Chains A and B, each alone.
Chain A
Amino acid sequence: MISEIDRVLSLRYAFVYADYRLLIPTTGEEIIEDIQDAFRFVANSKLPGNGYTFKLDGDGIAVSGNSAGGLCARLATIHARPRPKVLIDIYGQGGNFFVSRYH
């Protein structure tokens, strides 16, 4: 079976699957921090390929995620730099996670 990752790679894109801290005791702001840091790292680092090294092609960066990852992806388009050119929102969820109950 060909996965989503293989399809992305076959089009000569790199695919980065990042961890982020999870809610409680982590807050919404800290999740956004992680997303921003992941983007900053990817944009400013030389990344390892198989037998080569690569860097981000200008600002050619897309963001995607499913469910809560869809919300993270959406937040990335607002808060992360370089700003993603494409958002692929896969049944993204979203809510009031800035309300006081999560702080």
Chain B
Amino acid sequence: MTHMTLTYHLRVFTVMSHRPYHETQYLLSFSEYIVCLTLSVKIFKLLSSNISRKEHSRHTAHTLETMAQYTTLEYKKLNGSEPVLMDVYSPTLAPTKDVISLPIVMFFHGGALTVGHRRSYLPNWLKGVFDTPRNTVSRIIYLNDLGNRPCVVP
């Protein structure tokens, strides 16, 4: 990986300095090498700090054709280091210090179990499809008594 990055930077320098590639392939001066290294470290730090700042703060999901607010949480860690994330969307309620009880709808994305992520494939195009009784592709199965909770799908 380091070797690839270095080679890339060497190529960039070749273009910038109008020197033929074969002459400069491994002939960077020490100062040029340091500049390359510093730049790449700075870019990496900038990118990673942006990523970590994005998590654990509230966002508006424009991409899912909704203005709903969500918070990204880590629900588990793989091998003690790699986080697995979930987006929690919550209804607009009056702010309070009490802990409110809410029913939750869990959703899993499609993608043949091989592609996709938690911001992909929300089936917005299904809006209204459930209204037609002849639709047999999708089904709602009530596994248990809903109590007096409202039905999500009409």
Q: Which residue of A lies closest to B111 (CB)?
A: A68
- A interface, how many residues as a size bin? 35 or more
Count of inter-chain pairs, beta carbons less than 8 A: 278
Q: Which residue of B lies closest to A9 (CB)?
A: B91
Convert A1-42 into 0s and 1s, putting 1 for each residue whose CB lies closer than 8 angstroms to a CB of B.
Answer: 111111111111111111111111000000100110111011
Complexed CA–CA distance, A20 and B137 (Å): 24
Complexed CA–CA distance, A101 and B145 (Å): 39
Question: What is the interface of chain B mostly: helix, strand, loop, or mixed?
Answer: loop
Complexed CA–CA distance, A45 and B139 (Å): 30
The one of B64, B70, B109, B138 in contact with A91, judged by C-beta atoms closer than 8 angstroms, is: B138
Interface residues in B36-95 (C-beta closer than 8 Å to A): 58, 61, 64-71, 73, 75-76, 78, 84-95
Convert B143-154 into 0s and 1s, putting 1 for each residue whose CB lies closer than 8 angstroms to a CB of A.
Answer: 111110110110
Question: What is the interface of chain A mostly: helix, strand, loop, or mixed?
Answer: mixed
Contacts of B67 in A (CB 8 A): 6
Q: Which residue of A lies closest to B87 (CB)?
A: A17
Q: Which residue of B lies closest to A19 (CB)?
A: B118
Complexed CA–CA distance, A58 and B103 (Å): 8
Binding site for B on A (CB under 8 A): 1-24, 31, 34-35, 37-39, 41-42, 45-58, 60-73, 76-77, 83-93, 97
Q: List 12 A-B contacts (CB under 8 A).
A: A18-B75, A18-B108, A19-B117, A19-B118, A37-B76, A41-B75, A50-B58, A54-B102, A67-B121, A68-B109, A73-B107, A85-B145
The 9 A-B residue pairs whose C-beta atoms are closest, nearest first, are A67-B110, A51-B95, A60-B103, A69-B108, A65-B108, A49-B90, A72-B108, A3-B66, A57-B101
